[in-house]
Structure 1
Amino acid sequence: MYDERIRQLDHQWATYAYAREEEIEYGMAQAIERGRAEGVEQAVITLMKKGHISPEIAAT
């Protein structure tokens, strides 16, 4: 009975560790995607300010 409880607890902690790793990976992927989107937006704004592209082109 003691061994069974230890096995259950071990499985529970392994599940928590796996979920945490997945959450971290998901969070990092979301941050990278958000960073890319913000980077593209900043690049378009910079190009508009420097006169390299028109607002009509930037809107597409």
Structure 2
Amino acid sequence: PPELRSRIFDTGFSTGTAGIGFGLTIVSNVVDAHGWTVSVGESAAGGARFEFTGVGAGG
């Protein structure tokens, strides 16, 4: 949900009962280490859309 997007990369944040909230934190840390950025928005098909930007991020 849009109201949770600001917390999605926070350590320990999870909306599921089985998750521990480290997956997207790890992604964020790796992206930062490479000097890239990652953002989250809404996909036109529904759900989340993650966008990575930075040198070499597009392949």
TM normalised by structure 2 equals: 0.32
Name the structure where helix makes up a greater proportion of residues. Answer: 1
Structure of greater Rg: 1
Name the structure where strand makes up a greater proportion of residues. Answer: 2
TM normalised by structure 1 equals: 0.31
Tell me: higher relative CO, structure 1 or 2? Use CA pairs within 8 A at least 6 residues apart.
Answer: 2
